[in-house]
Structure 1
Amino acid sequence: MAEYVRASTRIPDYLYPKKGSATIFKNKFLETLTKTHPLTPAVIYLPIVSYLIFYSLNKLNFKSLTVAGLFASGVFSWTLAEYLLHRFVFHFEPKTSLGFKIQFMIHGVHHQYPNDPKRLVMPPAASLILALIFWYIFRFSFGIYAFSFFPGFVMGYIIYDMTHYAIHHFKPPKNKLRYLWKHHLQHHYKAPDRAFGVSSPLWDLIFGTTP
């Protein structure tokens, strides 16, 4: 990682990596809400995924192949949502002091303290709000097929969070998945304006944001 820091000429001060953990709120209760155990997404969302698949198969009587296809489409769709959210929402460029505070709270804190284990996944309150928004979008767009598509989308989110945690806290594997480590660490330590995909580099290749 050190070579990335030394080589960097494009990291603004508010995204420059440091060791340790930040304090966002002086209020202890609010501060607690900004910290999340990395297994929280799996604990919350895996039961939802399981129930929706069960509902699709046993209540809506979808064929297994239909459920599998919609589920896989949902997982794939998450990779695009992940890229777009990371690039255009998490990395919006603040122009005011309030903008800097908002940017720091939603993502800048992770760039300043990239190895803080309690700020590697989205707090439940925020992720549940986003999940509800996406659910209603899919329900409106796909009708009852959302019951099979949405759990795939959520599974994509779980995979993203687990991948993100692994990249920051485990050594890269000695196989092709090693590229994900290199790709994301370039985003942190060399080029925060590139490499927005975490669970997949596909959309960086398509949109020309590969380092």
Structure 2
Amino acid sequence: MIEYVKANVRIPDYLYPRKGSAQMFKNRFLEALTKTHPLTPFIVYFPVVLYLIFYSLNKLNFKFIIAGGLFVGGIFSWTLAEYLLHRFLFHFQPKTELGFKIQFMIHGVHHQYPSDPKRLVMPPAVSLIWAVIFWHLFKFSIGIYTFAFFPGFVAGYIIYDMTHYAIHHFKPPKNRLRYLWKHHLQHHYKAPDKFFGVSTPIWDYVFGTN
């Protein structure tokens, strides 16, 4: 495999950044499913967050402090899920031609074309599947408390997608949030095997990938 050297770090060819956009499918419908407007996660999932909070407080009669604690716990849990998915699923090491194709569709396309504005947030066709998986996982493990925990988890996901879009689309702000830009862009342009956190770098410090 051809490898390039950038910032003294070897970057595999299939992760090397380019300008423009890739065509992933010849079928127009499938190709359209891979492209997403950046506001889509907010439009699709924010009503879910509001409904589940309302349901928790008014139908299940959770105390505000309990619902609030579960909600914050959900956000925090998302940051860990974000890190683990990015590190171990999105960056799994392919060893076959089929593996490379799968890795490219999952995440490699974003590394090759990091400025493609229509592929900076997760397509609903994919995120809805993950939402169902996590909902049932939490329902099995914490039962009724899922109704207050899951909206926090989803809110964390919305923040993640919005942050990811902002980092790639806008100039870094002149405040402390600027560090998020620096952290994530190092993942793209310096070391794709490090800096996996997007909405927060905390887990990179915990697991030593910063």
Relative to the length of structure 1, the TM-score reads 0.96
Residue 101 of structure 2 corresponds to which residue in structure 1? 101
Cα distance in structure 1, aligned partners of 2:44 and 2:9: 40
Question: 1:24-56 deviations in whole A, cap 9, x for unaligned?
Answer: 001111111111111100000000000000000
Identity %: 79
List per-residue Cα deviations over 1:53-111 (Å, max 9, x = no partner): 00000000001111110000000000000000000000001000000000000100000
Post-superposition CA distance 1:130-180 (Å, at most 9, x none):
000000010111111000000000000000000000000111111111110
Kept after mapping to 2: 8 A contact 1:22/1:113: yes
**How many residues matched?**
206
The 2-side partners of 1:25 and 1:112 are apart by: 16
Asked if residue 181 in structure 1 is aligned to residue 190 in structure 2, the reply is no
1:89 corresponds in structure 2 to 89
- Would you say 1:33 and 2:16 are equivalent positions? no
- Structure 1 partner of 2:146: 146
Q: Distance in 2 between matches of 1:195 and 1:91?
A: 12
- Aligned residue number for residue 10 of structure 1: 10
The amino acid that maps onto 2:173 is P
Letter of the 1:49 counterpart: V
Equivalent residue letter for 1:65: I
State the 1:6 CA deviation.
4.2
- Is the counterpart of residue 190 in structure 1 residue 190 in structure 2? yes
Could you tell me how far 1:7 is from its partner in structure 2? 1.6
**Offset at 1:194?**
0.1
Shift of 1:9: 2.8
Aligned to 1:130: 130
**Structure 2: distance between partners of 1:176 and 1:10:** 29
- Opposite residue 81 of structure 1, the aligned amino acid is A
Instruction: Quickly say closer, same or farther: Cα 1:102–1:9, change in 2 above 3 A.
Output: same
The letter for the 1-side match of 2:82 is: E
Structure 1: distance between partners of 2:88 and 2:7: 25
RMSD of the alignment, in Å?
Answer: 0.9
Q: Which amino acid in 1 is paired with 2:27? A: N
4+ runs of 1 displaced by more than 6 Å? Answer: none
CA apart distance, 1:17:
0.1
